[in-house]
């Protein structure tokens, strides 16, 4: 029998706290019976929610936390106020102590990144974490990173994102050598900012064995699935993510409006209901909720703060998959093999100059 996947939850994180976290965990349990939970937060609120989910209660341990990090706190403030005693910190700390395999929070992204980085530390050769998300495309799915962990980055940072993203793609998609593209304003070599052009030169020169660098990908290439992994810095990545989510909701609203406008359109909807349901499911942002902090010495998942029950369950499912399919060992393996070449590159460039 496979070992249980132990999941630590920040039960107070996000816009809705335990009222979403607990029933979301219950949905994941129904899909993955081999899980158990550590829930950190206001024990009275969590216990009240657990009463409606006896099966979840049987595989959960509640740990009281006095402090809940608010969504608008600055990371420095959150660290000062919530270090050691907040639900977010304690969930991450459970991973560090080996009490949990993964920590999941819908809370403040900056605070979560700061706490995870301070508590778990970075993997060797990684300067800062990146948020990586599985993105639905016309071909299936792609890994896109960074979608908001940090702003900016030089060529070395972007190349490291490519290495980590390719490791995640190998885990998720079962690919031996995922294709990797750099997000840019055009596919021509002369376009884009200097850091992106330098990263392309660096990746080509390294000719890494576990990824296939295909060059630049424009914004519309994300949805087309132009590459298995698409790399950008966190500012552009977060804008792209939020734009895609907003566009999906906009199109869904257009369809609802069009289908209810006339009797003939309502009749047409009845006949095409199954097709519209399939489209709605494909475009539902809740189904792809849950971004992975890559580069940490531990697995941490960030859920959208406004996620509903199904959305939070999707984030917990992502955490389950990352543990069950050995994301961290495979990232370490890839970094050990490919990261050595990358760490030597700056020195080689300096010697040649």
Question: Is pLDDT of 220 > 60?
Answer: yes
Same domain, 87 and 155: no
Number of domains present in the structure of the chain? 2
- 224 in a domain, yes or no? yes
- 198 in a domain, yes or no? yes
Q: How far apart are CA 292 and CA 105, in angstroms?
A: 11
pTM, whole model, 2 decimals? 0.83
Same domain, 157 and 268: yes
Same domain, 116 and 138: no
Q: What is the pLDDT of residue 282?
A: 57
Same domain, 168 and 53: no
Which whole number is the average pLDDT over 329-348? 62
Q: How confident is the model at residue 284 (pLDDT cuts 50, 70, 90)?
A: low
- 92 in a domain, yes or no? yes
Q: How far apart are CA 50 and CA 166, in angstroms?
A: 38
Question: Is pLDDT of 243 > 70?
Answer: yes
- 315 in a domain, yes or no? no
Which whole number is the average pLDDT over 261-273? 68
- 313 in a domain, yes or no? no
Same domain, 238 and 214: yes
Helix (H) or strand (E) holding 179: strand 179-183
Same domain, 158 and 257: yes
The pair of structure tokens assigned to 60 is 């959960």
Q: What is the pLDDT of residue 352?
A: 38
Residue 342 lies in domain: 126-288+327-353
Query: 187 or 353: whose pLDDT is higher?
Result: 187
Chosen domain end from 104, 120, 136: 120
Residue with tokens 């998300």: 133
Same domain, 195 and 343: yes
The 3-state DSSP class for residue 67 equals strand
Which whole number is the average pLDDT over 207-222? 90
Same domain, 116 and 131: no
Q: Which of 176, 214, 213 is nearest to 330 (CA)?
A: 176
How many Cα atoms are found within 13 Å in the side-chain-facing hemisphere of 64? Answer: 3
Same domain, 284 and 350: yes
Question: Is pLDDT of 28 > 90?
Answer: yes
What pLDDT, in 10s, does the model give residues 168-199? 898 888 888 999 999 999 888 878 788 999 99
Same domain, 103 and 140: no
Q: What is the pLDDT of residue 50?
A: 97
Determine contact, residues 326/118, Cβ cutoff 8 Å: no
Chosen domain end from 93, 120, 147: 120
The pair of structure tokens assigned to 9 is 């939850």
Determine contact, residues 346/156, Cβ cutoff 8 Å: yes
Averaged confidence pLDDT in the chain:
86
- 173 in a domain, yes or no? yes
Most confident of 136-140, 229-233, 273-277, 333-337: 229-233
Which residues, including other chains, have CB under 8 Å from residue 324's CB and lie 6 or more apart?
2, 5
């Amino acid at each position: 029998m496979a070992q249980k996947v132990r999941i630590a939850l920040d039960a107070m994180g996000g816009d809705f706290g335990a009222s979403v976290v607990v029933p979301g965990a219950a949905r994941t349990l129904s899909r993955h019976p081999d899980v158990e939970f550590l829930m950190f937060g206001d024990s009275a609120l969590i216990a009240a929610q657990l009463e409606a989910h006896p099966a979840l209660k049987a595989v959960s341990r509640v740990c009281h936390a006095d402090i809940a990090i608010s969504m608008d706190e600055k990371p420095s403030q959150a660290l000062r106020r919530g270090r050691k005693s907040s639900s977010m910190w304690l969930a991450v700390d459970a991973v560090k102590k080996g009490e949990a395999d993964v920590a999941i929070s819908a809370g403040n992204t900056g605070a979560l990144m700061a706490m995870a980085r301070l508590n778990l530390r970075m993997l060797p050769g990684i300067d800062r974490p990146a948020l990586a998300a599985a993105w639905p495309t016309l071909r299936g799915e792609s890994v896109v990173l960074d979608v908001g962990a940090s702003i900016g980055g030089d060529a070395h940072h972007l190349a490291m994102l490519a290495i980590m993203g390719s490791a995640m793609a190998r885990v998720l998609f079962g690919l031996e050598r995922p294709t990797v593209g750099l997000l840019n304003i055009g596919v021509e070599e002369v376009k884009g900012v200097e850091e992106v052009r330098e990263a392309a030169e660096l990746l080509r020169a390294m000719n890494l064995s576990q990824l296939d660098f295909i060059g630049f990908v424009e914004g519309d290439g994300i949805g087309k699935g132009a590459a298995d992994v698409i790399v950008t810095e966190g500012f552009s990545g977060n804008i792209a993510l939020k734009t895609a989510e907003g566009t999906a909701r906009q199109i869904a609203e257009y369809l609802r409006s069009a289908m209810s406008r006339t009797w003939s359109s309502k009749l047409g909807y009845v006949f095409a209901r199954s097709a519209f349901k399939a489209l709605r499911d494909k475009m539902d942002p809740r189904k792809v909720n849950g971004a992975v902090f890559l580069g940490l010495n531990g697995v941490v998942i960030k859920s959208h703060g406004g996620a509903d029950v199904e959305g939070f369950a999707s984030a917990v499912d992502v955490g389950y998959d990352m543990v069950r399919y050995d994301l961290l060992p495979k990232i370490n393996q890839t970094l050990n093999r490919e990261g050595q070449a990358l760490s030597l590159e700056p020195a080689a460039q300096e010697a040649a100059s």
